[in-house]
A = this chain, B = another copy of it.
Amino acid sequence: MSYRARFRCINPQCGATYPLNSLVYHCTRCGSLLEVEHDLNALARRGAAAWMKLFEDRYKSNEWPYGSGVWGKKEWILPEIALENIVSLYEGGTNLFWAERFGKVIGVENLWIKLCGNTHSGSFKDLGMTVLVSQVKQLIAEGAPIKAVACASTGDTSAALATYCAAAGIQSIVLLPRGKISLAQLVQPISNGALVLYLDTDFDGCMALVQEITKDETIYLANSMNSLRVEGQKTVGIEIVQQFDWEAPDVIIIPGGNLGNVSALGGGLEMMKNLGIIAKLPRIVVAQAERANPLYRAYLRNFESFEPIHAEKTLASAIQIGNPVSVEKAIRILKQFNGMVEQATEQELADAAALGDRTGMFNCPHTGVALAALIKLLKAGKIDKAERVVVISTAHGLKFIEMKVQYHQRKLGFPSRYANQPLELPARLDAIKEVLHQALEKNRQFHA
């Protein structure tokens, strides 16, 4: 059976379509974003049970590339790509961690953390980047004159892009404002051989320039207006349902900045419902930092209007975005999924991340935002303690060591409620035993 997909303009008044091998990032007719549209009628002919069986059989299997959580769902992602062009680093299949201890502390029993950061480049961006770089490899194989793939990004996107390009043998390019980003923050793209350009401008200037240079068809654009990445990222929702033996949870909480991940999450779940795999949709909750909360503000206005804001500096640096690229798609998804938006202050996100760490996680600050939102929604009665809740953890805490050190040194400018610091002692057995005796008594309550 043959399955097909193409780009479609998200503007319903336009609806222009383009083949997936076109070098387009926006609709050339009306300028809107594009999304990948699948032939659902063809997919429906296979039947829900057969899809579930196929996905189960492939899950983490040795049959390359189907052991990848993304490519195990190839027909739903990029059905027409040739296997030899797939650039995969065994994405997905990450732990859906039962947060038993954290849940007890905050009063919810059925709480699960989807650890998307336990992966090759350390963030959920791998899920989307494998699709984008594979499609680029396919385009090159078909004769497109692409010599490199470029993005303007300080964080997980540039890391994932550089890693996948390095594995594929394709040059990656990263554009950044000079003097603002340290080499330590860039160590992944630098190590993975990216060509990093420090430019005499700000971040918006870099974004404008990357769109300029990728008008030339020899440089392909990897920023999040490229809708191929959404196709890979949508597997996160599908995989969560699969890990619950094909039952949808009640609530999924996801941190939101540029909001491409929200439409991806919703898109995957919607596809499962349309193809008869799940009967009901979970609620989707978007968690924002209070300092970068344009979607939260629009939510308070029942989404009657959306106003971009100037995002202030936040520890949750990857979601410090005032004018999200994918806001339209995200609002559509939230309306459809009976969604909510919650926000977290700097202290709330840092404390929630640290409390999670004490119970066995190792959170990035964005996961902290999502955990803090959960705590607030539970207190407000907007999430019931009997519900099955999933929090999407977007990156590995090892990417945020500096913030964690400052938290435990109480240097973040607000009280660190769960700070932990070493004790200094003489090297004598009696002194150690005395301290241990006291500390173990004190800790007993927390650990009980």
What residues on B are CB-neighbors of A213 within 8 Å?
A: 429, 432-433, 436
| Contact (A90, B101) CB under 8 Å given A192-B357, A404-B191 | no
- Complex CA distance for A402 and B183, rounded to whole angstroms: 10
**Structural contact, A166 and B198, CB atoms closer than 8 A:** no
Query: B residues within 8 A CB of A245?
Result: 62
Q: Tell me which residues across on chain B come within 8 A of A166, comparing CB atoms.
A: 101, 357-360
Q: Is the interface of A mostly helix, strand, loop or mixed?
A: mixed
Q: How far is the CB of A157 from chain B (nearest CB, A)?
A: 16
Binary contact track A84-100/B, C-beta < 8 Å → 1, others 0: 00000110011101100
Q: Identify which of residues 156-195 in chain A touch chain B, using a CB-to-CB cut-off of 8 Å.
A: 163-164, 166-171, 173, 175-176, 178, 183-184, 186-188, 190-195
From B120, B198, B206, B426, A424 is in contact (CB under 8 Å) with B198
* A120 and B196 contacting across the interface, CB-CB below 8 Å: no
Indicate if the CB atoms of B360 and A409 lie closer than 8 Å: no
**Closest CB-CB distance, A412 to chain B, in whole Å?**
14
User: Which of A277-285, A378-386, A391-399 forms contacts with chain B?
Assistant: A391-399
Known A120-B115, A436-B148; contact A422-B197, beta-carbon cutoff 8 A: yes
B residues in contact with A50, CB < 8 Å: none
Q: In the complex, A218→B243 CA distance in Å?
A: 38
Which of B168, B198, B209, B360 sits near A423, CB closer than 8 Å?
B198
CB distance from A84 to the nearest CB of B (A): 12
Chain multiplicity (copies):
2
Answer yes or no: A323 CB below 8 A from chain B CBs: no
A26 interface residue per 8 A CB criterion: no
CA A204 to CA B147, docked complex, whole Å: 54
Which of B64, B147, B191 has a CB less than 8 Å from the CB of A357?
B191
Residues of B within 8 A of A273 (CB): none
A362 within 8 A of B: yes
Of A226-234, A260-268, A330-338, A439-447, the segment with at least 4 beta carbons within 8 Å of chain B is A439-447
Q: Check if A60 is an interface residue, CB within 8 A of chain B.
A: yes
**Interface residue tally on A, bucketed by range:** 35 or more
A170 to B178, CA, bound (A): 47
Check if A427 sits within 8 Å of B199, measured CB to CB: yes
The answer to whether the Cβ of A205 comes within 8 Å of any Cβ in the partner chain is: yes
Judge whether A83 is part of the interface by a CB distance below 8 angstroms: no
Measured in the bound complex, the distance between the Cα atoms of B195 and A439 in whole Å is 8
Q: A192-B357, A198-B423 are in contact. Are A187 and B404 (CB under 8 A)?
A: yes
| CB < 8 Å neighbour of A427 from B168, B200, B439 | B200
For A194, list chain B residues within 8 Å (CB). Answer: 420
The distance in angstroms between the C-alpha atoms of A357 and B192, with both chains bound, is: 5
> Closest residue to A418 on the B side, CB-wise?
B193
Q: Which residues of B contact A175 (CB under 8 A)?
A: 432
Known: A62-B245, A101-B169, A183-B405. 11 other contacts (CB 8 A): A60-B60, A62-B243, A89-B97, A164-B360, A166-B358, A167-B359, A176-B422, A184-B401, A191-B408, A195-B423, A209-B427
**What are some 9 contacts across the A-B interface (CB < 8 A)?**
A64-B98, A163-B362, A166-B358, A175-B432, A178-B424, A187-B404, A191-B362, A197-B435, A198-B424
- 4 tightest Cβ-Cβ pairs between the two chains A and B: A167-B360, A201-B427, A90-B95, A60-B60
